[in-house]
Amino acid sequence: MEDNGNLSLFDLLEEDNIKSAPEAAPADDRQAYEELVRTLNHYAECYYDQDESPISDYEYDMMNNRLKEIEKEHPDWISEDSPSKRVGWKAEKGVLVKHDVPMLSLQDVFSRQEVDDFVNEVREEFGPDTEFLVETKIDGLSCALRYDNGDLTMAVTRGDGITEGEDVTMNVKTISDVVKHLDNAPEYLEIRGEVYMTRKAFEEVNRAAEEDGKKTFANPRNCAAGTLRQIDTRITRERNLSLFIFNVQTSRGIEFKTHTEGYEYLKARGVKVIELYYRCHTADEVWEAIQKIGDARSSLEYDIDGAVVKINDLSVRERMGNTIKFPRWAVAYKYPPEEKETKLLSIETDTGRTGRVTPVAIFEPVNLCGTTVTRATLHNQAFIDELGLGIGDTIRVYKSGEIIPKIKSVNKDLRPSDWKPYVMPSECPICGHKLVREEDAADLKCVNPLCPGTLVHRIENFVSRDCLDIKGFGTEYIRKLVDQGFLKDITDIFRLKERRDELLESKIFGREKNTDKLLDAIDQSVLSAGAERVLAGLNIPGIGKATSRELMKNFSSIDDIAAADVDKLVAVGDIGLITANGIKEFFSDPEEMRIVNDLKSFGLNFAAEEKESLGSELEGKAFCITGTLTGMTRDEASALIEAHGGKVVSSVTGKTSYLLAGENAGSKLTKAQSLNVPVISLEELKAMFEGED
């Protein structure tokens, strides 16, 4: 492992360093162990509460295994909030329901040896005729369904796995796979399954979200979890969730001797149970079944994250019992990230919003994690040189977090005889303008402001929530408007109203109502967007929402910023020499100034807002804000802090005075904890300047 200097564990978890994270916590370093606990808890909270995960299940599992190793060596270190002491995650979002039967997790295993050990130990204790089932482990959200005299009366999420979960009955009833009444049913039956989303349904949801300009989901599991917890059941119905049942939890009025007997009973009543499973007796048969399921992953319509090995005989299960977290009669084999070799056909280059030119590898199609992959980013020339990449190379491709395709390595033994290292072009692939490389930077950039390659990305930024916040202006609409000549720069957005008839004829937005809705949103943005939002939308390198706010606190208008010299710009907090030079270059460019003056002529606000000072109690203190605040937006909280003399920053560093954290606080909370930055609530913030009653 390379030397990472003084980086914390949190820093090691960023981007491509993530696979080094488990080793980042040495067994004799208690502080590193405690940091690992906090990091794992943060990822678990993202997974269960926010329905998203910054890392793949495999990467989380590797970190969790390292945690277990450390706790085995140092049992006196184990903290109450350690992931090893938790089954699920606390349920907080909806109406809470007590579990009739605990919804335990499964013990994960990662090697054939661990699988063999489990099977052979069971056979040794209960005999060679013991039967095992090997079945797919669906990547979704666990849910228990309760039937009273055949009627579905309650559906509960896993929650903490032991005590309680969330009532999701109304949403579960919208799922077409769910049987709402069982014929010839017992007095009471509780079954457990996995709510999931097929890849086709997932693609439809993301396509619709993109067209509406909304945030897309990272993967089907996150989408399914978020959908099941929707307040509006119509949204749940529209997203086409699915459900597989994988266990009979408990019953009154009927008994089953084996797991498969329960499956047959449910199937006879129309209940959809796990469709792919194998009955086995020996360790070799179990491993063969695991391999078969692994080979079938790409052909399934849904994602799986492993194979479950469980004992079929329910009396044996009862005799084996459970630990606090797991049943002793089952394990879950987790597949490693899928990797495949393919041939590099070409390298294309694309120009982004800031003019950065990114090389993209185009290769022969491979199927990874259920989707066909043909492209992967190569970042820049330095990354290409590190791989030693050339056209015709045989490359090994994988999916980072089972989402983003990446190139892992090159098989140099299969290199073609006429191989040459790839060198990026010196001209923009879109407009032909000469590319430049900034000092001490690896990226090549196109500095032509009229480059069509940058236009779509520039407009995306301009209409985004942090800038003009024009609702419904999705990427697909922008691309069509650019392709059909409606948008040649960002100022053309405000000329679209003059071309309403042409827009209706083009049918870019579909119905007339949709066209008028967007045109009204554009008009509204002129009235509502403050100067700091306009400044953030100008696409000045290094100037985002936070920096534009800081600039507008120190200058009376965007015009004043344009006229300021470098020394005056550098005097502003958070503005370094590189950013200051970038601002000067932007406002010195005749084409950029034409765009700026056009925007001003359309009535956009260029003047800084007069902000009332309410005091200086927070002077000299820097606040970072994260999560959802109760009763106040983040922008309102920022204004409140600034009105009392404080400063709002966009990231957590050692110089941050406080982290103001609301619900669903993310990685900033973890970073603050690792740096010992005080974390406060909105009430604690107000107490700083309101005083105690």
Number of domains, the chain: 5
Q: Find out whether 202 and 223 touch, Cβ atoms under 8 Å.
A: yes
pLDDT reading at 32 higher than 80: no
Give the pLDDT confidence score for residue 28 in this predicted structure: 54
Residue 48 identity: Y
| Residues 279 and 231 occupy one common structural domain | yes
| Residues 517 and 385 occupy one common structural domain | no
CATH number at residue 534: 1.10.150.20
| Residues 300 and 177 occupy one common structural domain | yes
Give the pLDDT confidence score for residue 17 in this predicted structure: 32
446 found inside a domain: no
The catalytic site residues sit at: 137
pLDDT digits (tens, 9 = 90+) for 156-199: 999 888 888 999 999 999 999 999 999 999 999 999 999 999 98
Q: Find out whether 327 and 317 touch, Cβ atoms under 8 Å.
A: yes
Q: Which residue has the higher pLDDT, 675 or 498?
A: 498
Token pair in block for residue 158: 């896993």
Q: Of the candidates 333, 349, 381, which is a domain's last residue?
A: 333
| Residues 539 and 666 occupy one common structural domain | no
pLDDT digits (tens, 9 = 90+) for 268-310: 999 999 999 999 999 999 999 999 999 888 788 998 989 999 9
| Residues 365 and 477 occupy one common structural domain | no
pTM score above 0.85: no
Residue 406 identity: K
Q: Of the candidates 333, 365, 386, which is a domain's last residue?
A: 333
Token pair in block for residue 6: 């003084």
Cα–Cα distance, 693 to 689 (Å, whole number)? 12
428 found inside a domain: no
| Residues 529 and 477 occupy one common structural domain | yes
CATH number at residue 35: 1.10.287.610
658 found inside a domain: yes
Average pLDDT, the chain: 85
Cα–Cα distance, 297 to 280 (Å, whole number)? 20
* Span of 362-371, 549-558, 598-607 with lowest mean pLDDT: 362-371
Q: Find out whether 190 and 271 touch, Cβ atoms under 8 Å.
A: no
pLDDT class for 46, splitting at 50, 70, 90? low
CATH number at residue 667: 3.40.50.10190
Q: Of the candidates 601, 635, 663, which is a domain's last residue?
A: 601
Give the pLDDT confidence score for residue 118 in this predicted structure: 97
pLDDT digits (tens, 9 = 90+) for 339-361: 889 999 999 998 876 788 989 99
Q: Which is it for strands 371-377 and 394-400: parallel, antiparallel or unpaired?
A: unpaired
Cα–Cα distance, 174 to 415 (Å, whole number)? 54
Torsion sign (Cα): 292, 296, 300, 306: positive
| Residues 282 and 374 occupy one common structural domain | no
Burial of 76 per CB tally in 10 Å (0-12, 13-18, 19+): exposed
Residue 15 identity: E
Mean pLDDT across the stretch 491-499?
A: 94
pLDDT reading at 16 higher than 60: no
Give the pLDDT confidence score for residue 578 in this predicted structure: 80
| Residues 530 and 395 occupy one common structural domain | no
Q: Which is it for strands 339-351 and 356-368: parallel, antiparallel or unpaired?
A: antiparallel
| Residues in Cβ contact with 409 at an 8 Å cutoff, skipping those fewer than 6 apart | 387, 395, 396
| Residues 180 and 282 occupy one common structural domain | yes
609 found inside a domain: no
CATH number at residue 290: 3.30.470.30
Backbone angles phi, psi at 186, to 5 degrees: -75, 180
Q: Which of 337, 397, 386 is nearest to 361 (CA)?
A: 397
Cα–Cα distance, 142 to 291 (Å, whole number)? 24
pLDDT reading at 25 higher than 80: no
Helices (H), 402-509: 452-463, 475-483, 500-506
pLDDT class for 559, splitting at 50, 70, 90? very high
Q: Which domain holds residue 538?
A: 452-601
Cα–Cα distance, 171 to 93 (Å, whole number)? 14
Backbone angles phi, psi at 62, to 5 degrees: -65, -40
192 found inside a domain: yes
76 found inside a domain: yes
Dihedral in degrees, nearest 10, Cα atoms 468, 474, 475, 476? -150
The helices-and-strands tally (H runs, E runs) of the chain is: 25, 22
434 found inside a domain: no
| Residues 370 and 344 occupy one common structural domain | yes
| Residues 465 and 572 occupy one common structural domain | yes
Cα–Cα distance, 9 to 15 (Å, whole number)? 13
| Residues 316 and 359 occupy one common structural domain | no
pLDDT digits (tens, 9 = 90+) for 212-221: 656 677 778 8
612 found inside a domain: no
Residue 326 identity: F
